[in-house]
Amino acid sequence: MSTTTAPEFLIETRGTTREFGAYVVGIAHCRATGTPGFGLGDGTLRIGLDGAPSQVHRGAVLAIAADCRAGFLTGGDDGKLATTTDATTILGDYGNRWVEHVAAHPAGVRAAACGKMLHVLDGAGTPRKSLAHPSTVSGVDIDAKGKRLVASHYNGASMWFFAAKEDKPRVLEWKGSHGMVLFHPDGDHVVSAMQENTLHGWRLSDGQHMRMSGYPAKTKSMAFTAKGRWLATAGAESVVLLPFFGGGPMGKPPQELAGGDAVICTQIATHPDHEVVAAGFADGLVLVAEIASGKVLPIAPPGRGGISALAWHPKGHALAFGTEAGHAAVVDFSGR
Amino acid sequence: MSDDQIPVTVLTGYLGAGKTTLLNRILSENHGRKFAVVINEFGELGVDNDLVVDADEEVFEMNNGCICCTVRGDLIRIIGGLMKRKGRFDGIIVETTGLADPAPVAQTFFADDEVKRAAKLDSVVTVVDAKNLPARLADTREAEEQIAFADLIILNKMDLVDEQGAREIEGRIRAINPWAQLIRSTKSDVPIASVLGREAFNLEKIVERVPDFLSGEDNHTHDTQILSCSFQAASPLDPERFNAWISQVLAVKGQDLLRTKGILAYANDDRVFAFQAVHMLADGDFIRPWKAGEERLSRIVFIGRDLNRPWLRRGFEACQADAPKTNYEAELARWGAPA
């Protein structure tokens, strides 16, 4: 016979919680200071849990990323692209269309998806390209070297070179509506999450396709582990890990972590150094799991709204998260 | 259905019918409610509202094995985005272009799980121009579709037609869609309460708006492609028969069937069963007990193209529990494979 005790959640001893009162759309950490920035549904950005709200967009922040060197790159439903450190600078104003996706790379590449266009700017804020797509861009990523961009859309994704003189995309075709898109750290794989609760992948070197189906919900969050061995994905009632080694993911079974409750995993963040994954669920549960051992560390209990944002500190010693109901927290793992 | 779901009203109608006038009236009236408005890029006039979203009307096919299941990809994204500012508006109004097929808009609210959780389709409101409708019906397919899909039809610009003309137009509309409510107006001056909060896709409301059934009458007029067929059955239906038959009809004919609605009396069951479908996407449930003294009639309306009226009537009638089994089997077999 076993006795059940309530799990201890790390947030109780090592967490700091704040109530922001607006949907936490995304979290990024400043590349210069490591401070987390919280992009909110009321159009404000909070730099640090106790930072004063700064009204960077008129409606809602729709996307946030760590900007090239420092600060935060945000897109809003006011059609603007902004960068904020101490002050906010508007980098682009694209009219009535929402800026739904942003990405930035330390090499000095910034991208903002707005309707069918992907606007590409350099580190100085100079517009470099406006790339047209056959339908609305629904996901953006920049490769590990900062040389290529990929934009997902209906019936596939388009890959572009930042430095190309003539802009002609390599079109990765696959019928259907594609959402979030991601480069593998090795630069040879691109994976997208589709409308029909599946993932689709392309191996660029030989044009092979990968299909991963069986998710009960749409995958809205996914990330590769530090060295790219695993793709950790949301959209199931557990963390689903797809192996990108030993011939995988084709023909290799996925691994599942932290399943059991019939609640959908909504957010994933992979640790910057180790094969460790943080996961947030639709009921507000947050946990951290080690892939090799399957060991789970409970971080936050359910109850404060579905997890809508989750991010590791770039040094890996702290985890920040936020919920649809407007709660945000940082949990610090560092030795005391 | 949770109260958390934001109600969505879809506004359709031809360019110049008075759609934007209606939209601006809804927005400017002092009702204390705030709306997010999704407009199309070819909007006629300015829309005066805090929260206006430009949409591209991107129609996508869902790869779910259902050939006619198209959705509005832009709406999936827009509703997802609007949920990030939840609490700051009470409803969403989606305006479509006059050239839009309303089916993908409606199907978006049934086919995408996240949209379903966040929002519910309240109704499809179609504004038609009383004077120009006959011409529109003659030269476009969309004008008919918009009428066929509507829960509320606003017959606008009534000052431009006489009473006889108005009656003729109403007859044309009724032939296409007997279930919709019709309101006459001159400058889209209809009570806002009649436009919003209709819950037209709530199964429980279907029974409240049962039209006068003209069973046996052919509603097909000479120049319309879309027609409606209404049938009633006096004897209670066998639920298994009806399910198997309607599933087969929708699977084979779903592409041509725009809307199907029914109120059914099942044998050995004291509850009213309500049924609705948008193309192949169907939904049905028991909604309440039959009232004492209420006539337990089963009634169904099919709105669509190239409908084989005798087949539908005989099939529906064969679903009655007391109909001969051989009849039923023969009717079911008709729909065995697409012709």
CA distance B35 to chain A (A): 14
Contact B58 A136 (CB under 8 A): yes
Q: Which residues of B, range 11-40, sit inside 8 Å of A by Cβ? A: none
Q: What is the DSSP letter of B307?
A: -
Q: Which amino acid is at A122?
A: D
Provide the pLDDT for residue B227. 85
Looking at the complex, does the CB of residue A100 fall below 8 Å from at least one CB of chain B?
Answer: yes
- Report the percentage of chain A scoring pLDDT > 70: 98
Considering the domain boundaries, does residue B259 fall inside one?
yes
- Report the percentage of chain A scoring pLDDT > 90: 90
Q: How confident is the model at residue B339 (pLDDT cuts 50, 70, 90)?
A: very low
DSSP track, A151-176: EEEEEEEEEEETT-SS--PEEEEEEE
Among the partner residues A77, A135, A324, nearest to B81 by beta-carbon distance: A77
DSSP track, A100-130: EEEEEETTTEEEEEETTEEEEEETTS-EEEE
Q: Where among B201, B230, B259 does a domain terminate?
A: B201
Q: Where among B169, B201, B233 does a domain terminate?
A: B201
Q: Which residues of A, range 106-165, sit inside 8 Å of B by Cβ? A: 115-116, 135-136, 138, 154
The secondary structure element, H or E, covering residue B249 is helix B239-253
Provide the pLDDT for residue A4. 55
- Using CA atoms of B286, B288, B294, B297 in order, give the dihedral in degrees to the nearest 10: -10
Looking at the complex, does the CB of residue B56 fall below 8 Å from at least one CB of chain A?
Answer: yes
CA-based nearest residue to A230, from A267, A255, A265: A255
Provide the pLDDT for residue B102. 87
Q: Which single residue is written with the structure tokens 């949770």? A: B2
Distance CA B196, CA B105 (A): 17
Note whether B201 and B149 are within 8 A (CB).
Answer: no
Among the partner residues A61, A97, A138, nearest to B54 by beta-carbon distance: A97
Among all residues of chain B, which has the CA nearest to that of A39? Answer: B84
Q: Which residues of B, range 149-188, sit inside 8 Å of A by Cβ? A: none
Looking at the complex, does the CB of residue B74 fall below 8 Å from at least one CB of chain A?
Answer: yes
Provide the pLDDT for residue A275. 96
Task: Encode B235-263: b = buried (16+ Cβ within 10 Å), e = exposed.
Answer: bbbbbebbeebbebbbebbbbbbbbbbbb
What 3-state DSSP class applies to B149? helix
Convert the pLDDT of each residue in A292-306 to its tens digit: 999 999 999 999 999
**Claim to verify: residue B245 and residue B192 sit in the same structural domain:** no
Looking at the complex, does the CB of residue A195 fall below 8 Å from at least one CB of chain B?
Answer: yes
Q: How many residues does chain B have?
A: 339
**Claim to verify: residue B179 and residue B319 sit in the same structural domain:** no
Note whether A33 and A70 are within 8 A (CB).
Answer: yes
B3 class by beta-carbon count within 10 Å (0-12 exposed, 13-18 middle, 19+ buried): exposed
Convert the pLDDT of each residue in A97-112 to its tens digit: 899 999 999 999 999 9
CA distance B59 to chain A (A): 10
**Claim to verify: residue B172 and residue B221 sit in the same structural domain:** no
Q: How confident is the model at residue B280 (pLDDT cuts 50, 70, 90)?
A: confident
Among the partner residues B62, B74, B114, nearest to A218 by beta-carbon distance: B114
Q: What is the largest CA-CA distance in chain B?
A: 62
Q: How confident is the model at residue A247 (pLDDT cuts 50, 70, 90)?
A: confident
CA distance A329 to chain B (A): 18
ipTM of the complex: 0.87
Considering the domain boundaries, does residue B249 fall inside one?
yes
Considering the domain boundaries, does residue B1 fall inside one?
no
CA-based nearest residue to A320, from A302, A305, A308: A308
Mean pLDDT for all residues in chain A? 94
B222 class by beta-carbon count within 10 Å (0-12 exposed, 13-18 middle, 19+ buried): exposed
Span B282-307, mean pLDDT? 90
Looking at the complex, does the CB of residue B63 fall below 8 Å from at least one CB of chain A?
Answer: yes
Considering the domain boundaries, does residue B111 fall inside one?
yes
Contact B60 A177 (CB under 8 A): yes
**Claim to verify: residue B34 and residue B98 sit in the same structural domain:** yes
What 3-state DSSP class applies to B329? helix
Looking at the complex, does the CB of residue B69 fall below 8 Å from at least one CB of chain A?
Answer: no
Among all residues of chain B, which has the CA nearest to that of A100? Answer: B81
| Contacts B83 to A, Cβ<8 Å | 23, 324
**Claim to verify: residue B307 and residue B328 sit in the same structural domain:** yes
Q: How confident is the model at residue B10 (pLDDT cuts 50, 70, 90)?
A: very high
Convert the pLDDT of each residue in B54-104 to its tens digit: 887 788 887 766 666 788 999 999 999 999 987 788 999 999 887 788 889
Looking at the complex, does the CB of residue B4 fall below 8 Å from at least one CB of chain A?
Answer: no
CA-based nearest residue to B238, from B227, B229, B246: B246
CB atoms within 10 A of CB A229: 16
Looking at the complex, does the CB of residue B77 fall below 8 Å from at least one CB of chain A?
Answer: yes
Strands (E), B44-85: 51-55, 59-61, 70-72
CA distance A13 to chain B (A): 30
**Claim to verify: residue B167 and residue B266 sit in the same structural domain:** no
User: What proportions of chain B, in percent to the nearest 5, are helix, strand and coil?
Assistant: 35, 30, 35
Contact B73 A177 (CB under 8 A): yes
CB atoms within 10 A of CB B4: 10
CA distance A326 to chain B (A): 10
Considering the domain boundaries, does residue B85 fall inside one?
yes
Span B306-330, mean pLDDT? 93
CA distance A209 to chain B (A): 17
Among all residues of chain B, which has the CA nearest to that of A59? Answer: B85
Mean pLDDT for all residues in chain B? 86
Considering the domain boundaries, does residue B121 fall inside one?
yes
Span A164-185, mean pLDDT? 95
Q: What is the set of domains in chain A, with CATH numbers? A: 19-132 (2.130.10.10), 214-330 (2.130.10.10)
CB atoms within 10 A of CB B67: 12
Considering the domain boundaries, does residue B245 fall inside one?
yes
Task: Count up the domains in chain B and report the number.
Answer: 2
Q: Which residues of B, range 252-291, sit inside 8 Å of A by Cβ? A: none
Looking at the complex, does the CB of residue B206 fall below 8 Å from at least one CB of chain A?
Answer: no
**Claim to verify: residue B98 and residue B25 sit in the same structural domain:** yes
Task: Count how many Cα atoms sit within 13 Å of the Cα of residue B298 in the half-sphere of its side chain.
Answer: 24
**Claim to verify: residue B131 and residue B21 sit in the same structural domain:** yes
**Claim to verify: residue B183 and residue B217 sit in the same structural domain:** no
**Claim to verify: residue B131 and residue B15 sit in the same structural domain:** yes
**Claim to verify: residue B33 and residue B154 sit in the same structural domain:** yes
CATH code of the domain in which B156 resides: 3.40.50.300
Provide φ and ψ at A229, rounded to 5°: -70, -30
CA distance A123 to chain B (A): 28
What 3-state DSSP class applies to B18? coil
CB atoms within 10 A of CB B29: 12
Q: How confident is the model at residue A253 (pLDDT cuts 50, 70, 90)?
A: confident
Contact A195 B60 (CB under 8 A): yes
**Claim to verify: residue B179 and residue B223 sit in the same structural domain:** no
Considering the domain boundaries, does residue B232 fall inside one?
yes
Provide the pLDDT for residue B141. 83
CB atoms within 10 A of CB B288: 12
| Contacts B86 to A, Cβ<8 Å | 23, 41, 324
Q: Where among B201, B228, B251 does a domain terminate?
A: B201
Rg (CA), chain A: 19
Note whether B252 and B335 are within 8 A (CB).
Answer: yes
Provide the pLDDT for residue A91. 97
Looking at the complex, does the CB of residue A96 fall below 8 Å from at least one CB of chain B?
Answer: yes
Span A68-92, mean pLDDT? 96
Q: Tell me which residue range forms the domain holding B151.
A: 6-201
Convert the pLDDT of each residue in B138-179 to its tens digit: 888 888 889 999 999 999 999 999 999 999 999 999 889 988
Distance CA A213, CA A193 (A): 10
Among the partner residues A23, A136, A177, nearest to B84 by beta-carbon distance: A23
CATH code of the domain in which B326 resides: 3.30.1220.10
